[in-house]
């Protein structure tokens, strides 16, 4: 199991190593095949190891909006980097708690990948009283859930900046 801090570090290493935080670019560089399919209304995507081809595949619901597809690929990359050794189909049958933890970790990875600190640092988005996760999601075209995760990760930093902005009478308008 990983801590949120460790997941942030892994996501940053991936970004630095591949010089990109774009999930489609990363998938291509990692030789992970993205297979768009109609997966219905309940499944956004899933990661699969194809033993015969010795490749990983991301099955992606082609009914999703572009930003949801990006988030889904980022989430599945989270499973790739964090949970390759788990048989997730077996996990789903045996432990709801473990499954929930793995999904939460993949979501945290997706948030850190799509909203890296370097992207948010210049605008103080999570550190400002004036921008909510809703506005961050809209500005960076990511699902609200990921913006909420990122802001929750930065909550301590956010509290510090709010206090500093209040004491220094700074107003941040974006």
Q: What is the largest CA-CA distance in the chain?
A: 62
- Residue in the block written with tokens 């809209």: 138
Whether the CB-CB separation of 108 and 4 falls below 8 Å is answered with: yes
Our answer to whether residue 85 is catalytic in this structure is no
Question: Is the CB of residue 47 less than 8 Å from the CB of residue 73?
Answer: no
Contacts of 141 (CB under 8 A, 6+ apart): 66, 67
144 neighbors 137 (Cβ within 8 angstroms): yes
Active-site annotation holder among 65, 76, 103, 134: 76
CB–CB of 27/77 below 8 Å?
yes
Q: Look up residue 121 and give its two tokens.
A: 């640092």
Show Cβ contacts of residue 51 under 8 Å, excluding neighbours closer than 6 positions: none
Q: With beta carbons less than 8 A apart as the criterion, state whether 81 and 50 touch.
A: no
Which active-site residues does the annotation give? Answer: 76
């Amino acid at each position: 199991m990983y801590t949120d801090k460790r997941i942030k570090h892994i996501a940053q290493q991936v970004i630095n190593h591949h010089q990109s935080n774009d999930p489609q670019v990363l998938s291509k560089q990692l030789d992970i095949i993205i297979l768009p399919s109609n997966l219905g209304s309940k499944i956004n995507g899933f990661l699969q190891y194809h033993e015969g081809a010795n490749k990983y595949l991301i099955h992606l619901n082609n009914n999703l909006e572009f930003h949801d597809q990006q988030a889904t690929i980022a989430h599945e990359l989270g499973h790739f980097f964090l949970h390759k050794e788990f048989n997730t189909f077996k996990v789903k049958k045996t432990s709801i708690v473990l499954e929930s933890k793995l999904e939460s970790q993949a979501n945290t990875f997706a948030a850190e990948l799509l909203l890296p600190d370097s992207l948010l640092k210049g605008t103080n988005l999570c550190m400002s009283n004036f921008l909510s996760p809703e506005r961050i999601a809209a500005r960076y075209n990511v699902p609200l859930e990921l913006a909420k995760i990122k802001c929750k990760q930065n909550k301590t930093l956010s509290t510090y900046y709010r206090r500093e902005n209040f004491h220094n009478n700074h107003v941040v308008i974006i």
